[in-house]
Amino acid sequence: MIWSQSLFINKYKVQCQCEGGMSGVDEVNDADFIEIHPMYMLRWEESEQAHILLYPEGIVKLNSSAGEILKRFVGGRLVAEVVAELSALCPDEDIAADILAFLEIANDKGWTRKAAQA
């Protein structure tokens, strides 16, 4: 797997910083149990060759990194489990902070939510 962190995560961080920072973003940590918000449906779109989030008002096309992260939260999982799983796939890169930053953005946008562990 090729980790393309700059395509989504870093680009969005820069945009947020230009708009006054990320003060409204709910912090995500390893102990959180995250799930895809029920208003969204994550699926692979063959014609786009990308994961997409469907919701009543539209669609969000995700890049490969965002798709790799979010698909692991379908049904809900602990953040620490997903960070460990993805870190094992990319042992030469320190991606934990980028994953947490992306999840904070996904939570802020309403794509995911913190939930009680089932």
Q: Is pTM beyond 0.85 here?
A: no
Predicted confidence at residue 17, as pLDDT, reads: 34
Predicted confidence at residue 93, as pLDDT, reads: 87
CA atoms within 13 A on the CB side of 98: 20
Q: What is the mean pLDDT of each run of 10 residues along the chain (118 residues)?
A: 38 35 70 96 96 94 95 96 94 91 95 90
Predicted confidence at residue 97, as pLDDT, reads: 93
Domains annotated on the chain, with CATH = 28-114 (3.90.930.60)
* Separation of alpha carbons 86 and 90, rounded Å: 6
* Separation of alpha carbons 87 and 13, rounded Å: 21
Alpha helices by DSSP H, listed for 1-118, are 5, 11-18, 64-70, 79-89, 96-109
The token pair at 44 is 């692979």
Predicted confidence at residue 71, as pLDDT, reads: 97
> In degrees rounded to 5, what are phi and psi of residue 47?
-65, -30
Q: Are 65 and 8 in contact (CB under 8 A)?
A: yes
Predicted confidence at residue 4, as pLDDT, reads: 40
H helices then E strands: how many in the chain?
5, 6
